[in-house]
Structure 1
Amino acid sequence: MARLDFPKDFVWGTATASFQIEGAYQEDGRGMSIWDTFCRTPGKVYNGDNGDVACDSYHRYEEDIALLKKLGVKAYRLSIAWPRIFPQGTGEVNEKGLDYYKRVVDGLIAAGIEPCVTLYHWDLPQALQDKGGWANRDTIDAFVNYAEVIFKAFDGKIKQYITFNETWCVSFLSNYIGAHAPGNKDLQLAITVAHHCMVAHGEAVKKFRALGVQGEIGTTHNLYWFEPYSTSPEDIAAAHRNRAYNNEWFMEPTFKGTYPQFMVDWFKMKGAEVPIVPGDMETIAQPIDFIGVNFYSGGFGRYKKNEGLFDCEEVQVGFDKTFMDWNVYADGLYKVLSWVKEEYGDTPIYITENGACYDDELTADNRVHDELRTEYFRKHFIQCHRLIASGVPLKGYFAWSLLDNFEWAEGYKKRFGIVYTNYETLERHPKDSYYFIQDVIKNNGFDV
């Protein structure tokens, strides 16, 4: 039996997002977000579910911190709800909202846990969406103003900031596919939103540097490993387009200040162009201290004319599936992060999300015996170890998610947590996967 040990300074953590866990949607001056609106739009969210209560972490954060401490994590990735700080997106700071996050951050630090904070995890103030949202360049200024308030309020306490979570989801999933708030289906709008979010990221990094804030700043992209089904040039090109949609379209501007030309040409053929203003690309490519990668899946594709946006058909090759119907492709994690290093150099990498959704059941012993999720984590931890052994600068891993929570358009039907949430009583029950991760963290490794 082989032993896999991790570097002493490897950061083990877990993650959540504000809208998915906090609830308290009308308390202490919080404004409405685009997700509050989306949830109230018939047919958009499974079962008409919403985030009004969620896991009630707004009131139960001390209980959640105790779970984190028991788990043994070095860090916890959370997000700040912009509508709690600026109910209208701009204007007067809502001090009660700021105070809530001060209590959370202080509680984490007291428990010996480093807070890693995401500034934007999808809950745009509805008041800004009413003015065009991310399609309006004024939202860039509003975001930088919000970020500055957070930087100043937490300087010295929060050591790691992520500007945006999954810009692909903010743009394409939400404004082209239409599955997430605000639910548009317009390719040009999606490309505009993606560009403006990346400019906002760059401007926030510039503000962070100008203020001399302690700590590190980066961004998180959700990367997907998509391979050609065969060696035919058509399959290779189709699979590359499908992969670049998630990967190169966001990574190349972040690191190189350019968009991949083959994708620019493809989108232009589809009638959409990037609305670049002079100086934008230099802003987007501000040097960052780390890159966050969210990884869940991958697949194989081949050329098929008029199939989707990229003339690419996914071919099922026998992967196991999660309850989200996503392929379990742990080796894809090794491949995609190796690609990141090869293409973009030695910037430190954190896996800021990785996890699996399964149909969990609370048993009579108040436990969830989630063998499939535990095995999912084990397989991906092995790939993390391979990456480190291969010289990829992987510095940490955040399991998604601490709690079962509001799973966006899937409502409360889909569970990703390592802690089971009883949505009727709001009680938390650690699952077997929680105890598996606890053991890995305690020993900083495991046997395979």
Structure 2
Amino acid sequence: MSVLTRRHLLRRAALSASAATASRVGAGAATTAAVAASAALGGCETGSDPDSDPNRVPDPEHRLGLRFPDGFGWGAATSAYQIEGAAKDDGRGESVWDTFSHTPGRTRGGDTGDVAADHYHRYEADLDLMRELGLRTYRFSISWSRIQADGTGAPNQRGLDFYRRLVDGLLARDIAPMATLFHWDLPQSLQDGGGWESRDVAYRFADYADHVFRALGENVPVWLTINEPKTVVQNGYLHGHHAPGHRDPGAAYLVAHHLQLAHGLAVAALRATGNSSRIGPALNLHPCYPAVEGAEAAAATRLYDGYENRLYLDSIFKGSYPTDVLDDLGPQSRMVRAIHDGDLKIISAPVDLLAVQYYTPIYVTPGGGTEHKWPTSEANWQQIYPDGMYDILTRVHREYGDLPLTITENGLPTPDTLNGDTVDDPGRIAFLRDHMAAAHRAIRDGVPLESYHVWSLMDNFEWAEGYDQRWGLIYVDYPTQRRVLKRSAHWYRRVIADNGV
């Protein structure tokens, strides 16, 4: 890796850190250049009204008259470390997030996932709440260290039994399970041996996946392999504000390759079982637009898009990494030197669907930095721009083929306050409604979108932010573990019943 590239990646990490702590910004108009360059980059319409701030919508529950296709899958999503708790129960081993959250200064307020929403002990009641909402699909993740305490060897039967009970409970309530194999909680023992910097971990992941596939079988109709590999790369290895907390650009993209390899090996493991369940990756995709006019901004945006999106999409769906990214990393980078013959064939093994997670657009400056153009949520990195949902869905469909798509995460944190038996969150309703409308427009324009999952089902441990941000449809009063359906949950129940907004 060249000194220039190393500085570029560290600067990006610093910019990410600045964005994470920046104060809220006001609305701004997207430039004409952003619209024009979006088309060049594969985007589509980008002209939302900047005055459409959800917090200023007088009636967030206003019906738009949009009906979704029959059988559309309305769901919600969670992840294991964020909700399960029971950190030391029934043979569960330590994960990198246990280590990270227990390290002073790593999480807001020193919060950990030791208890979280105590879902491990309260899953039956949580399943009943899912049924009350009318969910048709539920996307959750499996804790690797609950299945293999040290990431290797025979599976822990008590861990498998928990997920079997969860899946059985979903099916009994007519809710389709969608299971994610890895949502960032790598067993600490594997991290001690090098973590995702070690090629061997990709093969250990395939072994773990095989155990889970054989235990749960076709009762899980959809499997997702790796959740947001980009977040592990950028937050875990570039900026260091997620586990394992490193700041090493050379390691970061080596990790990217091994995560992609693990994805491909897990696909092969499922096929080898003869299981007829479907499988695919879960990628957080950020449409990238130039912040200003000009060739320099357009070129910087193209490269930024390579790191954000094409690095993961191209390897899975085209069997190659984008040449501009590889050239930028340099032939001596750890990633480039780690690509073995046959790796891209493994990574690009055919999948059955792609899970898309959309939260925010990115506006790129000529120097490769970023700017905000739209209002932000309480997560200051998140710009509220529903048209970005439309742009990324139509782009993926256009550039990567007629593959079924599912939205597995979309949501925002709001300043929720419990008032007796209610929580009023109109901003969340407006956000979800407007993003659902963008998804509906994509379906109308030919995108084979089959389901949508709100992030998140319930308030939870929000990684480095601890319990400071609330993203859920269901309010969790952490001292008592009481659950309260928010206004948005009641609204979503009507959306599901009507199959439309």
Identify the TM-score tier after normalising by the shorter chain. over 0.9
Pick the aligned partner of 1:10 from 64, 69, 72: 72
Q: CA RMSD in A?
A: 1.2
- The unaligned stretches of length 5 or more in structure 1 are 305-311
Is 1:432 aligned to 2:495, yes or no?
Answer: no
Percentage identity across paired residues of the two chains: 43
Tell me the SS of whatever aligns to 2:461: coil
**Residues 384-427 of structure 1, C-alpha deviation per residue, up to 9 Å, x if partnerless?**
11000000111110100001000001000011001011011010
Is 1:350 aligned to 2:440, yes or no?
Answer: no
Aligned match of 2:55: none
- The unaligned stretches of length 5 or more in structure 2 are 1-62
Pick the aligned partner of 2:390 from 330, 334, 348: 334
Q: Which moved more, 1:320-329 or 1:19-28?
A: 320-329
Cα distance in 1 between the residues matched to 2:189 and 2:228: 22
Tell me the SS of whatever aligns to 1:296: coil
Aligned match of 1:294: 357
Cα distance in 2 between the residues matched to 1:266 and 1:320: 32
Aligned match of 2:47: none
Pick the aligned partner of 1:313 from 354, 369, 376: 369
The letter of the residue matching 1:380 is: H
Pick the aligned partner of 1:57 from 119, 125, 144: 119
Count the aligned residue pairs.
Answer: 437
Tell me the SS of whatever aligns to 1:96: helix
The letter of the residue matching 2:494 is: D
Tell me the SS of whatever aligns to 1:351: strand
Is the CA contact (8 Å cut-off) linking 1:187 and 1:272 kept in structure 2? no
The normalised TM-score by structure 1 is: 0.96
Cα distance in 2 between the residues matched to 1:75 and 1:374: 20
* Pairwise CA distance, 1:272: 5.3
Aligned match of 2:222: 160
Aligned match of 2:138: 76
- Indicate the structure with greater strand content: 1
Is 1:129 aligned to 2:184, yes or no?
Answer: no
For 1:386-397, what aligned pairs fall within 5 Å after superposition? 386-397=441-452
Aligned match of 1:188: 250
Cα distance in 1 between the residues matched to 2:378 and 2:148: 36
Q: Which moved more, 1:234-243 or 1:23-32?
A: 234-243
> Measured at CA, do residues 417 and 24 of structure 1 come closer, stay the same or move farther in structure 2, by a change above 3 Å?
same
Is the CA contact (8 Å cut-off) linking 1:299 and 1:329 kept in structure 2? no
* Pairwise CA distance, 1:41: 1.1
Tell me the SS of whatever aligns to 1:27: coil
* Pairwise CA distance, 1:345: 0.7
* Pairwise CA distance, 1:233: 0.7
Aligned match of 1:202: 264
Tell me the SS of whatever aligns to 1:413: coil
* Pairwise CA distance, 1:143: 0.7
Cα distance in 1 between the residues matched to 2:333 and 2:219: 46
The letter of the residue matching 1:399 is: V
**Residues 19-59 of structure 1, C-alpha deviation per residue, up to 9 Å, x if partnerless?**
00000000001000000000111111111100000000000
Aligned match of 1:307: none
Cα distance in 2 between the residues matched to 1:89 and 1:355: 31
Is the CA contact (8 Å cut-off) linking 1:180 and 1:408 kept in structure 2? yes
For 1:191-270, what aligned pairs fall within 5 Å after superposition? 191-268=253-330
Aligned match of 1:409: 464
**Residues 254-300 of structure 1, C-alpha deviation per residue, up to 9 Å, x if partnerless?**
10011111111112289554210111000000000000011001132
Cα distance in 1 between the residues matched to 2:153 and 2:352: 30
Aligned match of 1:309: none
Is the CA contact (8 Å cut-off) linking 2:136 and 2:175 kept in structure 1? yes
Q: Which moved more, 1:400-409 or 1:205-214?
A: 205-214
Cα distance in 2 between the residues matched to 1:218 and 1:128: 24
